[in-house]
Amino acid sequence: MIAIDAFLFDLDGTLIDSRLDLAAAVNAALAALGRPPKPPGLITTYIGDGVAKLMARSFESEDPAVLAPATAAFRAHYNAHCLDQTRLYPEVRATLDHYRAKQLAVVSNKPEDFSRQIVAGIGLGDRIRVVIGGGSLPAGAALKPDPAPVRLALERLAVSPERTVLVGDGATDIEAGRRAGVRTCAVTYGFTSAEMLAAARPDHLIHRFAELRDLFV
C-alpha cells in the first residue's frame, strides 16, 4: 500500500458517466446549425480535450464562423441539461467517503463552470475541495496533457507531487500527471480502451473505482 496525501480526479469518464448529456448537447448544437445528429457512441470518441476540440470534431470544421455559434448552442443546452442523465460511476461515492481525510480535487478539461456545477449537483461538493477546469488558469487556455492544471491543483491543495496520485480515464490524464511529477492511475471503465491506457504507461491500472482502496492509504 502506498501512502499519499491527495487524489486528483478527472471528471468525465472517471467520476461520472456524462456521455448521454454531452451527446445531447452536441446534437442540440448540430440541430441549431441545421446539421444531422450523430450517434452518442461516436460523440464519446470526441470527448476529453475540451469544448473547442469537441465542437471542431463534431462539426468537422475549424471555421470560427461555424464553431462560435456551435459552441454557444452547445453551452446553452449543456448548462440547462448537464445533470439530466449524468451519474456517478459505481463505487465512487463510497470510495470518496473512505478517503474523506485526504485532500481531493477534480482536474478536468471540461470548462470550470460546468465542472463546478456538476460536482455540486451530483452531491460531491462536500468531498471535493478544489475544482480545476478549462479556463481555471490565468492564461485561460492550458488543458491536459499540459501539466499546468495539475500543478495548479497541487498549489491550491498545498500538497507535494510525490504524495499525490492523479486518477483518470484518458492518455491525456496520464501524460499530464507524469509531466507534473505525480503518481498516475488509469481507470478502464471510462471513455478510453484498456489497450490505449496501458500504452500510456500509467503507474497503476484499475478496472473498478474501489480498487483504489487496494493501492493507496
Q: How confident is the model at residue 19 (pLDDT cuts 50, 70, 90)?
A: very high
d(Cα 203, Cα 35) in Å, to the nearest integer?
42
Shortest CA distance to 11 belongs to which of 100, 103, 88? 88
* pLDDT at site 139: 64
Same-domain pairing of 73 and 110: no
Q: How confident is the model at residue 140 (pLDDT cuts 50, 70, 90)?
A: low
d(Cα 95, Cα 92) in Å, to the nearest integer?
5
d(Cα 132, Cα 106) in Å, to the nearest integer?
6
Determine which one of 10, 146, 169, 173 is catalytic: 10
Same-domain pairing of 93 and 131: yes
Q: How confident is the model at residue 138 (pLDDT cuts 50, 70, 90)?
A: confident
CA angle 142, 145, 150 (to 5 degrees): 70
- Tell me the CATH number at 76: 1.10.150.240
Same-domain pairing of 116 and 197: yes
Residue 67's H or E segment, with its range, is helix 64-81
In the structure grid, which three cell numbers stand for residue 102, read together? 485526504
Range 74-91 average pLDDT: 98
Same-domain pairing of 104 and 137: yes
Kindly state whether residue 1 falls inside one of the protein's structural domains. no
Find the domain containing 66 and state its range.
Answer: 19-81
* pLDDT at site 141: 61
Q: How confident is the model at residue 184 (pLDDT cuts 50, 70, 90)?
A: very high
Same-domain pairing of 100 and 171: yes
Same-domain pairing of 119 and 194: yes
Same-domain pairing of 11 and 30: no
Among 53-57, 58-62, 139-143, 193-197, which stretch is predicted with the lowest mean pLDDT? Answer: 139-143
Shortest CA distance to 121 belongs to which of 3, 21, 192? 21
Is 10 labeled as catalytic in the residue annotation?
Answer: yes
As for how many domains the chain has, the answer is 2
Same-domain pairing of 50 and 13: no
In this model, does residue 203 exceed pLDDT 60?
yes
Kindly state whether residue 31 falls inside one of the protein's structural domains. yes
Kindly state whether residue 203 falls inside one of the protein's structural domains. yes
- Tell me the CATH number at 201: 3.40.50.1000
Same-domain pairing of 163 and 178: yes
Same-domain pairing of 173 and 135: yes
